[in-house]
């Protein structure tokens, strides 16, 4: 089975990493799909996010990293999967995810939700952006290739 894990990944965190590694063990191919939102101000460019995610999972079989501009389900259809992966940290995540998951389901795309590991329930890309802007260490928040890319990026976009 092929599944698609869509998201902004701006930047990718160890919470995303946990979901990716767990999902990878369940499917034949996991496509990490970075949504392009040209209207949104980003910390890392889509190209930087592609490069760091490719660096993180170079040695993990069955992982593909791509960027897309379509709606998620159009993109999922294009790559030939009807299965989406999303992470759930909290009830708030559940509430914000359920509407879209129901619509996607009605259109033939089902979502597998993986619960965030307890150590990652408070971790988000926006927390990482704040920590970076405050000049605090990123240990335990992001993988090494991500930390390196962030250290080279401007820090005024939290």
**Does 87 sit near ligand ADP (CB under 6 A)?**
yes
- Phi first, then psi, for residue 120 (nearest 5°) are -110, 5
Q: Which of 24, 48, 81, 125 binds ligand ADP (CB under 6 A)?
A: 125
**Which residue among 31, 44, 86, 129 contacts ligand ADP (CB under 6 A)?**
86
**Catalytic pick among 49, 86, 120, 125:** 125
What amino acid positions are annotated as catalytic residues? 16, 40, 89, 125
Residues that bind ligand ADP in the complex, under the rule CB under 6 A: 7-9, 13, 15-16, 19, 86-87, 89, 93, 116, 120, 123-125
């Amino acid at each position: 089975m092929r599944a698609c894990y869509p998201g902004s990944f701006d930047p990718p965190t160890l919470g995303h990493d946990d979901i990716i590694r767990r999902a990878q063990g369940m499917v034949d191919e996991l496509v990490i799909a970075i949504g392009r939102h040209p209207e949104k101000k980003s910390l890392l460019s889509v190209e930087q996010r592609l490069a760091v995610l490719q660096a993180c999972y170079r040695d993990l079989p069955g992982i593909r990293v791509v960027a897309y501009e379509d709606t998620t389900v159009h993109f999922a259809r294009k790559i030939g999967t009807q299965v989406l992966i999303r992470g759930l940290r909290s009830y708030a995540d559940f509430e914000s995810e359920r509407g879209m998951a129901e619509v996607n389901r009605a259109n033939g795309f089902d979502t597998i939700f993986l619960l965030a590991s307890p150590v990652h329930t408070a971790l988000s890309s926006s927390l990482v952006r704040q920590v970076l802007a405050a000049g605090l260490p990123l240990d335990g928040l992001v993988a090494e290739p991500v930390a390196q890319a962030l250290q080279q990026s401007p820090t005024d976009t939290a």
